[in-house]
């Protein structure tokens, strides 16, 4: 059997060798050649170009002058993984490296004069069907992951200013993302958008509930609970959630379902409420029965195993260990990681492929989407397994 701890170290070394920078499935709009053409001003052209970059199995980015860059969410995942490794080993080099990444994350916050409260976005322009997001415009998912990583770093180093900075990002969510539209209350993915996306809204609720609890802001907690109830009420009878409420959001996939369950568990733990226990149980039962195969593969969609994707694998491990029964979840996680290493790992390069389809494998090295998630999941798994209480709890 593969030595998972040794693999964890090699993967981290591979990410560090690139100084945490790399390409991304969604960074095609950073092409200097594309930006120099009139197509860069056309919504449809941007959407097609972005999707082309996401699905091409060969990496044309160097030819098209797409630079390798750090991504705030990717750095947050690596920082969180470093803290997991430090908790497991007490080796100072892990904490030192996390402390080195923290200031960089702070420096990447979206325009403080305009947004006032801390918030973060991606390092690339992003065109979705519903909206266009310029590079640096804050979004709820990146802000949540960065804030959680910085708060954990502040906790580990007893840096109250860092924890306060992280917690104050909840004000950005409450002031700029809380939305009431079509009779529903939710946190929008980006400011000014009215699309209701369940995982984004729940992560906003989770962080606002946590921040409200830590700072004594009852209004933040109340707002988060109202938003949470909207997504809970949208859960299907079988325990699943579609991605969002718009027509093109009517799909069910594994890692967004995992996000929902992880966020709901955080909300439950923060509020010490049993209100959402049945929702979590039904969602978890659906997740395990629908997305985890007997061989340890993770189905991408409820109707399809392919593409195999390390992002889905990583979230499966985290979902199982944060939501499921201790010994069973640990056993399933071990099987899932072993299967992912068998099918997705490239030992000669110390990294994972992006996606494996039935007849084609995309081996492009994506730092945020693939390697950062893989490292964080492995580090989380090792720390979890090292704690004696998790053997029976």
Q: What is the pLDDT along the chain (393 residues), one digit of tens a residue?
A: 468 899 999 999 999 999 999 999 999 999 999 999 999 999 999 999 999 999 999 999 999 999 999 999 999 999 999 999 999 999 999 999 999 999 999 999 999 999 999 999 999 998 887 778 899 999 999 999 999 999 999 999 999 999 999 999 999 999 999 999 999 999 999 999 999 999 999 999 999 999 999 999 999 999 999 999 999 999 999 999 999 999 889 999 999 999 999 999 999 999 999 999 999 999 999 999 999 999 999 999 998 889 999 999 999 999 999 998 788 899 999 999 999 999 999 999 999 999 999 999 999 999 999 999 999 999 999 999 998 766 544
What is the structure's pLDDT at 133?
87
Q: Is 303 helix (H, G, I), strand (E, B) or coil?
A: coil
Q: What is the pLDDT of residue 131?
A: 76
The per-residue pLDDT for 3 is 85
DSSP string, 141-179: HHHHHHHHHHHHHHHHHT-HHHHHHHHHHHHHIIIIIEE
Q: What is the pTM assigned to this prediction?
A: 0.95
**Among 251, 320, 263, 310, which Cα is nearest to 287's?**
320
Query: What are the φ/ψ torsions at residue 110 (nearest 5 degrees)?
Result: -65, 155
Backbone Cα Rg of the chain? 20
366 contacts 21 by C-beta, under 8 angstroms: no
So what's the pLDDT on residue 323?
94
Q: Are 298 and 312 in contact (CB under 8 A)?
A: yes
Cα-Cα end-to-end distance for the chain: 26
How many other C-beta atoms can be found within 10 angstroms of the C-beta atom of residue 53? 25
What is the CA angle 356-357-359, rounded to 5?
115
Contact criterion met (CB below 8 Å) for 101 and 79 = yes
Identify the pLDDT of residue 379: 97
The span from the CA of 333 to the CA of 352, in Å, is 17
Quote the pLDDT of residue 391.
53
- Per domain, the residue ranges of the chain are 28-68
Burial (CB count <10 Å: 0-12, 13-18, 19+), residue 173: buried
């Amino acid at each position: 059997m593969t030595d998972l701890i040794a693999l964890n170290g090699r993967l981290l070394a591979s990410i560090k060798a690139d100084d945490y920078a790399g390409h991304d499935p969604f960074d095609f709009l950073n092409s200097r050649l594309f930006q120099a053409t009139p197509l860069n001003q056309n919504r449809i052209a941007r959407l097609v170009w972005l999707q082309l970059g996401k699905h091409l199995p060969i990496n044309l980015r160097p030819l098209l002058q797409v630079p390798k860059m750090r991504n705030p969410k990717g750095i947050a995942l690596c920082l969180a993984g470093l803290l997991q490794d430090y908790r497991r080993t007490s080796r100072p080099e892990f904490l030192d490296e996390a402390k080195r990444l923290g200031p960089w994350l702070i420096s990447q916050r979206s325009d403080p004069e305009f947004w006032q409260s801390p918030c973060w976005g991606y390092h690339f322009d992003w065109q979705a069907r519903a909206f266009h997001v310029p590079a640096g415009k804050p979004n709820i998912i990146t802000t949540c992951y960065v804030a959680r990583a910085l708060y954990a770093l502040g906790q580990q180093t007893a840096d109250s200013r860092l924890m306060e900075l992280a917690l104050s990002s909840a004000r950005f969510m409450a002031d700029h993302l809380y939305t009431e539209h079509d009779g529903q209350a939710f946190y929008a993915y980006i400011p000014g958008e009215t699309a209701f996306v369940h995982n984004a809204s729940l992560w906003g609720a989770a962080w606002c509930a946590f921040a409200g609890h830590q700072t004594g802001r009852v209004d933040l907690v109340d707002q988060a609970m109202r938003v949470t109830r909207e997504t809970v009420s949208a859960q299907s009878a079988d325990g699943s959630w579609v991605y969002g409420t718009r027509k093109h959001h009517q799909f069910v996939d594994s890692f967004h379902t995992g996000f929902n369950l992880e966020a709901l568990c955080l909300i439950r733990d923060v509020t010490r409420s049993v209100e959402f226990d049945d929702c979590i149980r039904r969602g978890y039962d659906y997740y395990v029965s629908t997305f985890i195969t007997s061989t340890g593969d993770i189905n991408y969609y409820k109707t399809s195993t392919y593409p195999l994707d390390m992002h889905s694998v990583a979230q499966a491990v985290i979902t199982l260990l944060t939501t499921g029964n201790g010994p069973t979840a640990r056993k399933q996680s071990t099987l899932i990681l072993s299967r992912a290493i068998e099918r997705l790992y490239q030992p000669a390069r110390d990294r994972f492929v992006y996606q494996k389809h039935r007849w084609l494998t995309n081996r492009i090295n994506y730092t945020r989407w693939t390697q950062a998630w893989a490292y964080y999941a492995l580090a989380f798994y090792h720390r979890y397994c090292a704690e004696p209480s998790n053997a029976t709890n």
